Amino acid sequence: MTALEQYYNKFNEEKRLTRRHGNVEFVTSMKYIHRYLEGRPDAKILDVGAGTGRYSVALAEEGYEVTAVELVRYNLGILKSKKSSVKAYQGNALNLSRFAEGTFDMVLLFGPMYHLFAFEDKRRALEEAKRVAKPDGVILAAYCMNEFCVITHAFKENFAKECMAQGKLTEDFQSVSSEEDLYDYMRIEEIDALNDAAGLERIQIIAADGPANYLRQVLNAMDDETYQLFVQYHLATCERQDLIGASAHTVDILQSRG
């Protein structure tokens, strides 16, 4: 069993997107999924790194034909236990060979890019998504962002000096991750370089959760009406390019380069 599988066997992925900070991410991502499914009532969707099926099952319940791929058997078991119409398989983002070229209207990569560390592996994941997407298909790829990691782990949690000494932060405060860290963190220019290498064109990029992850305790203490105002605030600002890099997660919305 890999370290990643051990981690997700303990991590409560099922509840993450239902907590208030996670719900911000879910509501935002679903808004843009729906935007790019407009006019595609019979869309076929592939959810790569589907976890326990938070997105897969919700979209299947809306009537879409959804296929899910998940690496971690534990998560896959939870997904299958929901008895939805989702066709679920064990696999990973680097090898989608079970699917023919040009099969899906939409491909979701809401997890794999967090846990791939080499540029070539990330590029390969994007190229596999591109291959199985229809020529006019849309790919949504989520990333963990560098500044969130630095602000929270290095400074809020007081690991800055330790990270510097261990070579986990560069002089310009770029996080340096390896597989033992489980997560990798990106800056916009790195995402741009990946898209260029994979032959993908950005439609738009959004902040999936904005400041929500910085404000977990604050959000939990809010009354419901104030929390809904916060969600409205985030949805009103999640496309602002001056805020993108500070979000904990971004979603890059892509299509094949014409």
Summarize pLDDT for 175-189 with one digit per residue, the tens. Answer: 999 888 889 999 999
Q: Are residues 80 and 118 located together in one domain of the fold?
A: yes
Give a yes or no: residue 181 inside a domain.
no
Compute the average pLDDT of residues 186-214.
97
Q: Are residues 169 and 115 located together in one domain of the fold?
A: no
193: region left, alpha or beta (phi > 0 left; psi from -120 to 50 alpha):
alpha
Q: Are residues 167 and 139 located together in one domain of the fold?
A: no
Can you tell me the distance from the alpha carbon of 116 to that of 18, in angstroms, rounded to the nearest whole number? 25
Can you tell me the distance from the alpha carbon of 152 to that of 138, in angstroms, rounded to the nearest whole number? 32
**Strand ranges (DSSP E) for the chain?**
44-48, 65-70, 87-90, 104-109, 133-144, 200-207, 249-256
The residue segments making up the domain with residue 208 are 3-145+186-256
Q: Are residues 239 and 166 located together in one domain of the fold?
A: no
Q: Are residues 115 and 156 located together in one domain of the fold?
A: no
Q: Are residues 98 and 122 located together in one domain of the fold?
A: yes
Classify residue 125 as exposed, middle or buried by CB count within 10 Å of its CB (0-12, 13-18, 19+).
Answer: buried
Q: What's 66's domain CATH number?
A: 3.40.50.150
Phi first, then psi: give them for residue 254, nearest 5 degrees. Answer: -130, 160
Q: Are residues 93 and 134 located together in one domain of the fold?
A: yes
Counting the structural domains of the chain, the total is 2
Confidence of residue 148 (pLDDT cuts 50, 70, 90): very high
Which pLDDT belongs to residue 216? 95
Asked if the model's pLDDT at residue 247 lies above 80, the reply is yes
| Segment holding 26, helix H or strand E | helix 20-37
Asked if the model's pLDDT at residue 65 lies above 80, the reply is yes
Structure pTM? 0.93
Q: Are residues 91 and 127 located together in one domain of the fold?
A: yes
